[in-house]
A and B are shown apart, each in its own frame.
Chain A
């Protein structure tokens, strides 16, 4: 059972996610029946799966939800916000159950309240309006009781006749499952699989859905078109264990049924042609229903993330060896070796791209839970908010994705709670009642940016400064000299909360500093801009990947250091005479800008003689809009390296963000430029 459990959980999550997405769509287009159909399908599949897996509560709740949806579909109930609230609650409860199952729980949960609510919505329903499937299934069941043969509609009849004319045999295969069979649905599934191999399944009684839910006694009948003989089919099906008996009889068309066809006789050729065309489709549909437990045969496979990590680690080892090989071939300077190594380098960089891409996940996996959250929050806060998501397909490394969810939730809550004003205030300020929040993700260079923009109240720099001073975060003097932008940064200081009223949504002042820490620990940065009265924008910059980076290797005396290319603007060589003194700081005039110099030799206490050379090699790096010139002894070149942590024992070394292993097997330290620029 456990091997199914994983699939079950994964798929349930997918269906629930699609339910919530579609529900949000439905709220915007309440008239669109196709959306209801989509939700219905997801809910239905979920019901079938959970019943098969034995999660009764899950199946019951889904069933109730399905009934309500069915009413909407049939036009008995109209879509209202209150109704959707209840359905959303139901989906939430379902999600909670699935995650409880995932964590090894029973998936049981008290859902009587929600079921009650759903039921109240459901009542007033006209019992005559059942789903077609149910009607036909029950009709068929009745028919079977009477005659032992069940009825077909015109279309099915046409298909049956058509195939008979083409030399196929039509059978009704009645299969009895043994009484003591434990997993009836599984046996049914196996029988279907065999029958599908023999030919096309036209119809089954009870319906496929009911069979999947094990809602049948011990017997079910399948109408099959096949070229095989009845005996063959019977023997094949009997190979499935726990099957008691198989009766395979040829379908005989009664005169009545044949007569039914007569009135349409004139158009028959056309109709037949159509029927032939439709047949494979119909068969496919049946198949699909029969196979709901299997994922559609799309060309993706699920791979455990641990395996990808192992692959990544192995590849990192390979990159290190590649570096070593490149160095050896340079030293030996053998033509053939050089060519081979070059080829290998090319292949391994392709390989690197593929492996990195495999670990890339669209940010949608994080973004997709936001619409529902925003909707709920907006209702709790009595605000009208429209969330727009742009660039959800932007891809990021898995490790980043896993970490970025919580900070984003926090920033969004913040925008909703503090940013967007209440409708009354907005009207008073001459804005639209509905507030807009935009969540935008895009690639730029080696980074991914995520922006959260609201058109709310914005921030008041002076108010922030006063607040910070009163909280003791800032001194009065320091406060006076802050630029507005610096003042906005204050909200990231720990122990800072601007909400006048503390709500449970945000505003305990423990959040934004954590947000900043999380983002910085991912090698990213967060910045903020705001215009009072017209909104704020939070911009998060994240690295594409965390494990392989491009660096510039430099010599400082005998030691080698690596500077990430992402923070380098350019390299330069300046004369001693071009270095100017500003107070105690050495600076240069670089393209019209005053850039302070950082002597890495001093910062890192590199042992070695002070060389009095006439020229200085500089690496100009930046952090945001600020720049600095790092003084090094010699440039070595650019290289792809694997980022390795220094380990927890040495985790807080100043201005060093990690280490890497060079081609010659030595360790080089990676300079953290962000720490060098204040």
Chain B
């Protein structure tokens, strides 16, 4: 699913999840399932945001901590912490989020470009911003989040 086709569709169904007080969204087509946190096996010598791998029904799936990825402070896992299993390029990847609790239909016209002021480090990861009443949804760009180049840069500790 390319970025344009998501934005060009009349309406997009998205999964909404929270990080602190911010709300993020991913198109449902890119999400396979939402899982509770389970045992994560650390993989040595990878980027800091790669938490490790889990056994997802027999498939070894890498897990990425979005907080670390967005350079937010790490937090202890809570009852509401979830793993969103998403796919990109036929590869399944789990994203750790503080909470995931909503599915919304977003109309095309609600989308706006990313405001300049938000232009911080996480800018690359954002596909667009949607305004709903008083909520602000940040639509993520999964491909850039999983960019393997970043993985390499942070590697090499070993």
A344 partner residues in chain B, CB cutoff 8 A? none
| B93 interfacial contact with A, CB 8 Å | yes
Contact B42 A559, beta carbon cutoff 8 Å = yes
Contact B53 A650, beta carbon cutoff 8 Å = yes
Shortest Cβ gap from B93 to chain A (Å):
6
The proximity string for B residues 67-102 relative to A, scoring 1 for CB distances below 8 Å and 0 otherwise, is: 000000000000000000000010111000000000
A667 to chain B: closest residue by CB: B41
Contact B148 A559, beta carbon cutoff 8 Å = no
B55 partner residues in chain A, CB cutoff 8 A? 661, 665-667
The proximity string for B residues 4-35 relative to A, scoring 1 for CB distances below 8 Å and 0 otherwise, is: 00000000000000000000000000000000
Main secondary structure of the interface of A (DSSP, over half): mixed
A425–B55 Cα gap in the complex (Å)?
62
Contact B58 A320, beta carbon cutoff 8 Å = yes
| B123 interfacial contact with A, CB 8 Å | no
The proximity string for B residues 51-63 relative to A, scoring 1 for CB distances below 8 Å and 0 otherwise, is: 0111100111110
B54 partner residues in chain A, CB cutoff 8 A? 667
B112 partner residues in chain A, CB cutoff 8 A? none
In chain A between 586 and 624, which residues have their CB closer than 8 angstroms to a CB of chain B?
A: 603-606
In chain A between 627 and 660, which residues have their CB closer than 8 angstroms to a CB of chain B?
A: 644-650, 653-656, 659
Contact A648 B157, beta carbon cutoff 8 Å = no
Contact B91 A649, beta carbon cutoff 8 Å = yes
| A464 interfacial contact with B, CB 8 Å | no
A647–B146 Cα gap in the complex (Å)?
13
A383–B44 Cα gap in the complex (Å)?
54
| A194 interfacial contact with B, CB 8 Å | no
| B132 interfacial contact with A, CB 8 Å | no
| A97 interfacial contact with B, CB 8 Å | no
A667–B94 Cα gap in the complex (Å)?
15
In chain A between 244 and 303, which residues have their CB closer than 8 angstroms to a CB of chain B?
A: none
The proximity string for B residues 102-118 relative to A, scoring 1 for CB distances below 8 Å and 0 otherwise, is: 00000000000000000
User: Which residue of B45, B50, B52, B60 is within 8 Å of A661 (Cβ)?
Assistant: B60
Shortest Cβ gap from A339 to chain B (Å):
27
| B43 interfacial contact with A, CB 8 Å | yes
B93 partner residues in chain A, CB cutoff 8 A? 649
A667 partner residues in chain B, CB cutoff 8 A? 41, 52-55, 60
Task: Using A317-B58, A655-B158 as known contacts, say yes or no to A668 and B41 having CB atoms under 8 A apart.
Answer: yes
**Interface residue range, chain A:** 20 to 34
| A669 interfacial contact with B, CB 8 Å | yes
B41 partner residues in chain A, CB cutoff 8 A? 559, 659, 666-669
In chain A between 543 and 582, which residues have their CB closer than 8 angstroms to a CB of chain B?
A: 559
A655–B60 Cα gap in the complex (Å)?
17
Contact B158 A649, beta carbon cutoff 8 Å = no
Task: Using A559-B41, A661-B60, A666-B41 as known contacts, say yes or no to A648 and B91 having CB atoms under 8 A apart.
Answer: yes
A653 partner residues in chain B, CB cutoff 8 A? 43-46
Contact B146 A649, beta carbon cutoff 8 Å = yes
Contact A647 B62, beta carbon cutoff 8 Å = yes
Contact B42 A654, beta carbon cutoff 8 Å = no
Most central of A650, A659, A661 by chain B CB within 10 Å: A650
A316–B39 Cα gap in the complex (Å)?
21
Contact B60 A654, beta carbon cutoff 8 Å = no
**Interface residue range, chain B:** 20 to 34
A668 partner residues in chain B, CB cutoff 8 A? 41
| B151 interfacial contact with A, CB 8 Å | yes
A320–B62 Cα gap in the complex (Å)?
19
A647 partner residues in chain B, CB cutoff 8 A? 60-62, 91-92
Shortest Cβ gap from B87 to chain A (Å):
11
A317 partner residues in chain B, CB cutoff 8 A? 58
Contact A646 B60, beta carbon cutoff 8 Å = yes
A308–B121 Cα gap in the complex (Å)?
48
Contact B58 A654, beta carbon cutoff 8 Å = no
A645–B146 Cα gap in the complex (Å)?
18
In chain A between 410 and 463, which residues have their CB closer than 8 angstroms to a CB of chain B?
A: none
A656–B157 Cα gap in the complex (Å)?
14
Most central of B50, B52, B53, B157 by chain A CB within 10 Å: B53
Contact B58 A650, beta carbon cutoff 8 Å = no
A514–B157 Cα gap in the complex (Å)?
28
A619–B151 Cα gap in the complex (Å)?
31
Contact B53 A646, beta carbon cutoff 8 Å = yes
Shortest Cβ gap from A643 to chain B (Å):
10
B58 partner residues in chain A, CB cutoff 8 A? 316-317, 320, 661
The proximity string for A residues 320-358 relative to B, scoring 1 for CB distances below 8 Å and 0 otherwise, is: 100000000000000000000000000000000000000
Shortest Cβ gap from A554 to chain B (Å):
14
Contact A606 B44, beta carbon cutoff 8 Å = yes
Contact B44 A649, beta carbon cutoff 8 Å = no
User: Which residue of B43, B61, B91, B148 is within 8 Å of A656 (Cβ)?
Assistant: B43
Task: Using A605-B157, A649-B148, A654-B158 as known contacts, say yes or no to A644 and B60 having CB atoms under 8 A apart.
Answer: yes
A654–B43 Cα gap in the complex (Å)?
10
B157 partner residues in chain A, CB cutoff 8 A? 605
B47 to chain A: closest residue by CB: A650
A510–B89 Cα gap in the complex (Å)?
30
A646–B52 Cα gap in the complex (Å)?
10
Contact B151 A649, beta carbon cutoff 8 Å = yes
Shortest Cβ gap from A36 to chain B (Å):
53
A668–B53 Cα gap in the complex (Å)?
9
Shortest Cβ gap from A650 to chain B (Å):
5
A605–B158 Cα gap in the complex (Å)?
8
Contact B62 A649, beta carbon cutoff 8 Å = yes
B89 to chain A: closest residue by CB: A648
B158 partner residues in chain A, CB cutoff 8 A? 603, 605, 654-655
Shortest Cβ gap from B43 to chain A (Å):
6
B50 partner residues in chain A, CB cutoff 8 A? 650
A661 partner residues in chain B, CB cutoff 8 A? 55, 58, 60
Contact B60 A666, beta carbon cutoff 8 Å = no
A669–B41 Cα gap in the complex (Å)?
8
Shortest Cβ gap from B156 to chain A (Å):
9
A313 to chain B: closest residue by CB: B58
A320–B55 Cα gap in the complex (Å)?
11
A558 to chain B: closest residue by CB: B42
Contact B45 A655, beta carbon cutoff 8 Å = yes
A654 partner residues in chain B, CB cutoff 8 A? 44-45, 158
Contact B45 A646, beta carbon cutoff 8 Å = no
A662 to chain B: closest residue by CB: B55
Shortest Cβ gap from B24 to chain A (Å):
20
B46 partner residues in chain A, CB cutoff 8 A? 650, 653
Shortest Cβ gap from A630 to chain B (Å):
14
A317–B58 Cα gap in the complex (Å)?
7
A669 partner residues in chain B, CB cutoff 8 A? 41, 43-44, 53
A621–B93 Cα gap in the complex (Å)?
33
- Nearest 7 A/B pairs, CB to CB: A604-B44, A667-B41, A654-B158, A659-B60, A654-B45, A644-B60, A661-B55
Interface residues of A (CB under 8 A from B): 316-317, 320, 559, 603-606, 644-650, 653-656, 659, 661, 665-669
Q: What are 28 A-B pairs at a CB distance below 8 A?
A: A320-B58, A605-B157, A605-B158, A646-B53, A647-B60, A648-B89, A649-B62, A649-B148, A649-B151, A650-B46, A654-B44, A655-B44, A655-B45, A656-B43, A656-B44, A656-B45, A659-B60, A661-B55, A661-B58, A661-B60, A665-B55, A666-B41, A667-B41, A667-B54, A667-B55, A668-B41, A669-B41, A669-B44
| Besides A320-B58, A654-B158, 8 other A-B contacts (C-beta < 8 A) | A559-B41, A603-B44, A605-B45, A644-B59, A647-B60, A649-B148, A666-B41, A667-B55
